Chain A
Amino acid sequence: MIPPAPAVGAIAPDVTFLDAEGRPWRLTDQRGSVVVLVFHRHIH
């Protein structure tokens, strides 16, 4: 079940991703910078 999409204008979800070495990257740590998140289904 997919939760509702966040509304434009709302605080973005607090998400954490991993780099290739397994180190965490947390969106909330990027405050102060503009971030573009590009979700893809594959890399090529």
Chain B
Amino acid sequence: MKGWNRRDTAVVIFVFVAASSLVVAAFGTVNYLRFYPALQSLQLQLVDLKYTSQADLLNGTATFTILNPTLYEGLAVRIFEGVFNITLNRNTTLQMGSVGYVSYSSPIPPGVMGTVRVPFRPPGFAANSVYDTLASGGEVRFDFAIDLILSTFLDKVSGVSVTYICEATQGQGTCEQAYVQLLVRPAQGMGGGGGGGGV
């Protein structure tokens, strides 16, 4: 039996180096396989809604929490945006438009809750309607459609956003995930256009 020469040694080293790289890639693969479930499981909660109503003035603050309950690492909120409506006595809806720009850019590590406070100040006619409704013992409900524009490892090729529908009358409200969007940018050098898909 011949002994090992330099090439045999190089082959063995090559196999071990490749095996080591496989271990590193395995961790990345496991994390990647948690990515889509993490998007579907991402939780937005409307934990508190406060407002003060006067005849021509309405000031309020909605406090949201964001939680990634999965083990996936690598998600971050880039933009927090949305629109809101005020529903009076369950039959009249006042469309208020955007909640305004909320400066919130933060990673969402697994199990760590982030808090976003959204102040809102509807125009005078809405303040009037809310004041009158409350004065007559009616119900005022705030409906939010919130988009979390996420920063992910796909940033260079795709935008990812998660949309929630939240509602509350006062205090704690409820939120439901409406859909997740993957927006594919047109490919460079491959022709064709971009598209989107819900997860």
Q: Do A and B come from one complex?
A: no
Point out residues on A near B: beta carbons under 8 Å. none
